[in-house]
Amino acid sequence: MKAAYIEQYGGPEVLKYGDLPNPAPGPGQVVVDAVAASINGADWKVCAGEYTHPGFPVILGRDFSGVVSAVGAGVTDLAIGEEVFGVLETGRDGTYCEKIAVGAAIVARKPAALSHVEAAALALTGLTAIRALEDTLKLRAGETILIQGGAGGVAGFAIQLAKHLGARVITTASAANLAWVRELGADQAIDYNATDFRTAVSPVDAVLETVGGAVAMQSFAVLKPGGRAAFIASGAQAPKPDRADVVSLRPAVSRDRPALERIAELVRLGAVRPPPVRLFALSDAAEAVRISKARHLRGKLVFRLR
């Protein structure tokens, strides 16, 4: 199969494109002929060695959409030919390729309303947003949430989900993306290049922080007493707050079929829509990762594999 992979850690330029062996399904696994796979912020960190693996080559990538081409022993709920989407097991990478072996229990049937490209674009971003808002922050109707970096994949999904849950949504974005995040449902959009959000935001119940860096610690300043903040871009541990009356949380983005089916349900209800997508060939993986690392993008970058 064709794959994009690394044989050493480094910048995007170390990515190679070539042939690697086809996977076979183990017990409880299916093999998916991938039609699309998305590029995520974690991918360049894997490339750089921030998340290490036991050996090379390492295929990058975590989420995908495609067609089941083989089933392993014990798999009875998925069949060859079914269209599915999903995210690899926690701590595992390997979707920048044409064939993916993955546990059947963490794969879901692709919503008919979505193309494979759209399903791949929503898989990890949607899973992360659901875990952050519903499971970690436990966002409730009537609350106000600040979502940092609203034009990104996770944040864009989160804006829509928060509105569906009945929350008031404030977000930050560049001037070029302010209209877009308002279209997604943001009640207040702040140009982070022109305005310090700490001066523009009244105290909020919750923060979803997707940017990292200095913004992470600054986010505690806008929380109400008893408020909570969830972090997805600040390392393995949530930052320690500089005040004692707020809670700092790190979502656990565990994988399971019900969470993916929740994404499908939100799509069916019209509560969320797929993000804008920029398509790449797998042979252009180094360029895609370079663009993703720069972070100045709207929506998602996706490989079309077939």
In CATH, the architecture of 125-249 is 3-Layer(aba) Sandwich (3.40)
Residue span(s) of the chain under CATH 3.90.180.10 come to 2-123+254-304
Mean pLDDT, range 268-293, rounded to an integer? 96
- Of 131, 44, 58, give the one whose Cα is nearest residue 93: 58
Find where tokens 């090379």 sit.
Answer: 56
Could you tell me the pLDDT band of residue 105, with boundaries at 50, 70 and 90? very high
Segment 209-220, tens digit of pLDDT: 999 899 999 999
The residues of the chain that CATH labels 3.40.50.720 are 125-249
pLDDT at 22: 98
> CATH 3.40.50.300: does it fit domain 2-123+254-304?
no
pLDDT, tens digit (0-9, with 9 covering 90-100), for 20-52: 999 999 999 999 999 999 999 899 999 999 988
Q: Cα separation of 66 and 110, whole Å? A: 8
How sure is the predictor about 302, in pLDDT bands with cuts at 50, 70 and 90? very high
Q: What is the average pLDDT value for the chain, to the nearest integer?
A: 96
Residue 296, pLDDT > 80, answer no
d(C-alpha 36, C-alpha 116), whole Å: 6
pLDDT single digits (tens) 235-244: 668 999 999 9
Confidence band of 294 (pLDDT split at 50, 70, 90): confident
Phi, psi of 110 (to 5 degrees): -70, 135
Across-strand partners of 38?
Answer: 302
| Rounded average pLDDT over 58-86 | 98
Using CA atoms, how far apart are residues 198 and 71, in angstroms rounded to an integer? 52
Q: Region 46-61: what's the mean pLDDT?
A: 93
Q: Please state the length of the chain.
A: 306
Nearest one of 108, 107, 127 to 25, comparing CA atoms: 107
Percent of the chain's residues with pLDDT above 70: 99
CA 139 to chain centre: 19
